[in-house]
């Protein structure tokens, strides 16, 4: 684990200990913001203007989570990144941008007993996506969020364009199996 990751985790622990402490929240923001911004701009490459609003929305959710108290076993930095990514999707939807990713959430809301609302499904989706290999994450995020064409994906991955649908299909299956766990 890098020093920065350790520092972010310590800052998160301090925020849980005293969720209304503005100095602790500031310190968390200073450490966490540059890193999550890097992740958000890599997720949506078309227009970075959305990421600021997404981060603001996500930060309000972080404060609520701090107020709810810490739960053992949860990797909060990864969870917070999933929340920020989902907030970016919300911003895109709010600005009437097409989000093709929505079709990926169906397995999460199809079973009545375990149905998640759109917000919850989105966070769970990004949490699961981060456990796939990097190539799959890139394929799914670039295709479904940024809207990158199959030709461009093929160029970046240095594969034949006709291979892209098959690669996407494999990655989708891998993701679905994680989500159904």
Q: By CB under 8 A, how many residues form the interface with another protein?
A: 66
DSSP 161: G
To another protein, the closest distance from the beta carbon of 137 in angstroms equals 9
Instruction: With contacts defined by CB under 8 A, name the span among 74-82, 97-105, 163-171 that binds another protein.
Output: 74-82
**Token pair in block for residue 42:** 């890599």
| Contact partners, residue 153, CB within 8 Å, separation at least 6 | 139, 142, 143, 164
**How many Å apart are CA 109 and CA 31, to the nearest integer?**
34
> Contact, 140 vs 169, CB < 8 A?
no
Does residue 150 touch another protein according to CB under 8 A?
A: no
Instruction: With contacts defined by CB under 8 A, name the span among 66-74, 96-104, 164-172 that binds another protein.
Output: 66-74
Q: Is 83 exposed, middle or buried (0-12, 13-18, 19+ CB in 10 A)?
A: buried
The total of other beta-carbon atoms located within 10 Å of residue 161's CB is 13
> Contact, 127 vs 82, CB < 8 A?
yes
Q: Which is it for the CA torsion 164, 78, 30, 49, positive or negative?
A: positive
**Strand, coil or helix: what is 81?**
helix
Residue whose CB is less far from another protein, 10 or 42: 42
To another protein, the closest distance from the beta carbon of 120 in angstroms equals 5
Near another protein in 75-134, by CB under 8 A: 75, 77-79, 81-82, 87, 90, 116-120, 123-124, 127-128, 130-131, 134
Does residue 20 touch another protein according to CB under 8 A?
A: yes
Does residue 12 touch another protein according to CB under 8 A?
A: no
Residue whose CB is less far from another protein, 37 or 168: 37
Binding residues for another protein, rule: CB under 8 A, are 1-2, 4-5, 8, 20, 22, 25-26, 29-30, 33-39, 41-42, 45, 48, 51-54, 56-57, 59-61, 63-65, 68, 71, 73-75, 77-79, 81-82, 87, 90, 116-120, 123-124, 127-128, 130-131, 134-135, 138, 155-157, 178-179, 181
């Amino acid at each position: 684990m890098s020093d920065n990751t350790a520092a972010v985790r310590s800052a998160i622990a301090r925020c849980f200990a005293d969720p209304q402490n503005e100095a602790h929240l500031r310190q968390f923001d200073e450490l966490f913001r540059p890193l999550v911004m890097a992740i958000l701009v890599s997720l949506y490459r078309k227009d970075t203007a959305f990421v600021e609003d997404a981060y603001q929305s996500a930060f309000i959710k972080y404060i609520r989570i701090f107020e709810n108290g810490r739960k053992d076993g949860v990797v909060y930095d990864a969870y917070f990144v999933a929340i920020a990514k989902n907030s970016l999707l919300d911003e895109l939807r709010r600005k009437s941008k097409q989000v093709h990713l929505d079709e990926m959430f169906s397995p999460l809301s199809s079973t009545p007993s375990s149905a998640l609302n759109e917000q919850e499904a989105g966070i769970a989706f990004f949490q699961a996506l981060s456990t796939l290999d990097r190539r799959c994450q890139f394929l799914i995020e670039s295709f479904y969020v940024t809207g990158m064409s199959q030709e461009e994906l093929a160029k970046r991955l240095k594969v034949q364009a006709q291979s892209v649908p098959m690669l996407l299909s494999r990655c989708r299956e891998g993701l679905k199996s994680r989500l159904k766990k």
